[in-house]
Structure 1
Amino acid sequence: MLAMIFPGQGAQKAGMGGELFDLADYAVIEAQVDALLGYSLRQLCLHDAARLADTRYTQPCLYMVNALHGLRAQREGAAPDCYAGHSLGEYNALHAAGAFDLLTGLRLVQKRGELMAQARGGAMTAVLGLESGRIAETLLAHGLDAVDIGNYNAPTQTVLSGPPQEIDRATQLFEAAGATCVRLAVGGAFHSRLMHDAALDYAQFLDGVEFGRLQRPVISNVTGTFYPAQAPAAVIASLLVRQIVRPVLWVKCVRSLLDAGADTFLEAGPGNVLTRLVAQIRAAAAAPATAH
């Protein structure tokens, strides 16, 4: 069983897209893409690293590059049985499964990126080497209740999201406990309560959007399980709104795929960040339980 997975923000890199922009899939819509965005997506990806690091531009650019990777893989014979994506990548999964067309998805992520970029005053850091349960206990024990867990990426890779001063305090605590902390180059505290206003505005934006029935199973970041079979538009919209403020349950997403029979994972996007996370999750699942 083949699962196609799409990366989210953080996977972008200067020059991404390359030869993909010359594919027929993109050539027929390039003028529409640039008219919708107000700039050349091709030129930004290939020649404007500064703007590519800005959430407002990262999200539409990465969405399109992910989609082109996925389309090329399918042209070359890949036949996914199900889809999943990390944060922004969930939009690629939904597009691939038939929830909306490519340009509608681009319009959705453009608005999402704009709203998330407006929610400033937050920070994110990845904590490596500690299990998420211990991280949650430490936050609680030290009164760091303003810090949210933004991403459960792997059994020992968890991303914290919240006010910068509190993220700094948390970083000191976890580094003292032996963890490695990596500050993420993002403009806000994504997947945290600080995105509340962005989520409310996004809900209003989605109110007029029509979603099609899913033609293949898709995993939700919010629940870590599959969208309901024949999920109605209201359910898809609700989960996408909640995704902005809720943690990405990537470990649970991958475990759900494994439980459903997925034995091959194909990452459609620049790099292999999700492939590495999947390997860590599978290894942890296969390891014998430690007796206490």
Structure 2
Amino acid sequence: MITYVFPGQGSQKQGMGSELFDEFKELMAQADEILGYSIKRLCIENPYSNLNKTQFTQPALYVVNVLSYLKKIREAEAKPDFVAGHSLGEYNALFAAEAFDFETGLKLVRKRGELMSMVSNGGMAAVMGLNEEQVASALNQYDLHNVDIANVNAPYQIVISGRKDDIEKAASLFETMTEVTMVLPLNVSGAFHSKYMNKAKEEFEQFLHTFHFSPPSIPVISNVYAKPYTYELMKQTLADQINHSVKWTESINYLMKKGQLEFEEIGPGNILTGLIHRIKKDAEAMSR
């Protein structure tokens, strides 16, 4: 059995998709028409450094992930048994499961990126060396109630999210703790997957209701619940994803319990491959 996983924000890099764009000219024309600019130019030339701006990053990654997936299934001639995506990548997982078509996914992602980019003065940082409970306990102990846990990427890689000054304060605190191996500020403009995204979530929820989805043809593991999407709650789950934690570790653990599963990252980079390797290693250590 195989699971395809799709990366999210942070995996973008200039030049991504360059070998794919000319192979899928029809989809590229659709994308450019929906967006009003050239995805190919954005990814290859990166004008005004737009590729790292949320409202451009999300559509660009969605398109490159879709093209990577279509090329993969054309070559493999078989679909995966499960799909999952990290944050933005979840839209690619839903596309792969035929919950919506390419155009619908791109319209959703464009709106999501626009809404999330409007929430400024936020920050995020990855804390290495502590688990989720330890990070939550430290935030509570030092009255950092405005800082949320945004991603549980691996058992000892937890991403925190909040206002920029609160994140800087939290980062200084974690750096003094002996168990912490590194605190890495992330190159983002907003406090993603936190309470500061509540307004964006509400607006996105209304936008979602203007679209029609289909039941997934293969199980899609949700970031919010770390278990497969249900058709009835699909729109609600996508809205919740904006201001809830990404339960990546729990999602991979859920899949590992399904038996002999291979994981393959579809899209630019290998961030998720590294995280899955760590999650597997930790699970093996726990089972000894």
AA aligned opposite 2:72: A
Residue aligning to 2:133: 133
Cα separation, 2, equivalents of 1:121 and 1:39: 27
Output one character per residue of 1:129-172: Cα deviation in whole Å (capped at 9) or x when no partner. 22221111100000000000000000110100001111111101
Residue aligning to 2:186: 184
Cα separation, 2, equivalents of 1:5 and 1:289: 25
Cα separation, 1, equivalents of 2:104 and 2:45: 25
Cα separation, 2, equivalents of 1:289 and 1:66: 34
Measured after TM superposition, the shift of residue 288 of structure 1 is 3.4
Residue aligning to 2:266: 268
Residue aligning to 1:51: 50
AA aligned opposite 1:209: F
Residue aligning to 1:246: 244
Cα separation, 1, equivalents of 2:248 and 2:236: 19
Measured after TM superposition, the shift of residue 128 of structure 1 is 1.1
**Equivalent residues of 1:3, 1:262 under 8 A apart:** no
**Equivalent residues of 1:190, 1:245 under 8 A apart:** yes
AA aligned opposite 1:41: I
Cα separation, 2, equivalents of 1:187 and 1:207: 27
**Equivalent residues of 1:163, 1:189 under 8 A apart:** yes
Cα separation, 1, equivalents of 2:260 and 2:242: 27
Cα separation, 1, equivalents of 2:65 and 2:84: 12
Measured after TM superposition, the shift of residue 82 of structure 1 is 0.8
**Equivalent residues of 1:82, 1:216 under 8 A apart:** yes
Residue aligning to 2:173: 173
**Equivalent residues of 1:192, 1:246 under 8 A apart:** yes
**Equivalent residues of 1:8, 1:62 under 8 A apart:** yes
Higher mean C-alpha deviation, range 256-265 or range 149-158: 256-265
Cα separation, 2, equivalents of 1:79 and 1:200: 34
Cα separation, 2, equivalents of 1:257 and 1:67: 22
Cα separation, 1, equivalents of 2:286 and 2:164: 38
Higher mean C-alpha deviation, range 47-56 or range 140-149: 47-56
The DSSP-based 3-state class of the residue aligned with 1:151 is strand
Cα separation, 1, equivalents of 2:142 and 2:174: 11
Measured after TM superposition, the shift of residue 289 of structure 1 is 6.0
1:8 aligns with 2:8: yes
Residue aligning to 2:156: 156
Cα separation, 2, equivalents of 1:237 and 1:79: 24
Cα separation, 2, equivalents of 1:145 and 1:53: 29
* CA separation of 1:288 and 1:257: change in aligned 2, threshold 3 A: closer
RMSD: 1.2
Matches within 5 A, 1:24-63: 26-48=24-46, 50-63=49-62
Match of 1:200 among 196, 199, 202: 202
The DSSP-based 3-state class of the residue aligned with 2:220 is coil
AA aligned opposite 2:112: R
Residue aligning to 1:285: 283
**Equivalent residues of 1:161, 1:189 under 8 A apart:** yes
Residue aligning to 1:76: 75
**Equivalent residues of 1:124, 1:188 under 8 A apart:** yes
Cα separation, 2, equivalents of 1:119 and 1:131: 28
**TM-score, normalising length from structure 2?**
0.96
Q: Gaps (5+ residues) in structure 2?
A: none
Moved over 2 A (4+): none
Measured after TM superposition, the shift of residue 244 of structure 1 is 0.2
Measured after TM superposition, the shift of residue 201 of structure 1 is 0.5
Cα separation, 1, equivalents of 2:128 and 2:72: 32
AA aligned opposite 1:211: F
**TM-score, normalising length from structure 1?**
0.95
The DSSP-based 3-state class of the residue aligned with 1:125 is strand
Residue aligning to 1:107: 107
The DSSP-based 3-state class of the residue aligned with 1:288 is helix
Residue aligning to 2:229: 227
How many pairs does the alignment contain?
A: 284
Output one character per residue of 1:35-80: Cα deviation in whole Å (capped at 9) or x when no partner. 1101000010000160000000000000010111111111111531
**Equivalent residues of 1:129, 1:156 under 8 A apart:** yes
Higher mean C-alpha deviation, range 261-270 or range 106-115: 261-270
Cα separation, 1, equivalents of 2:84 and 2:201: 21
Measured after TM superposition, the shift of residue 262 of structure 1 is 5.1
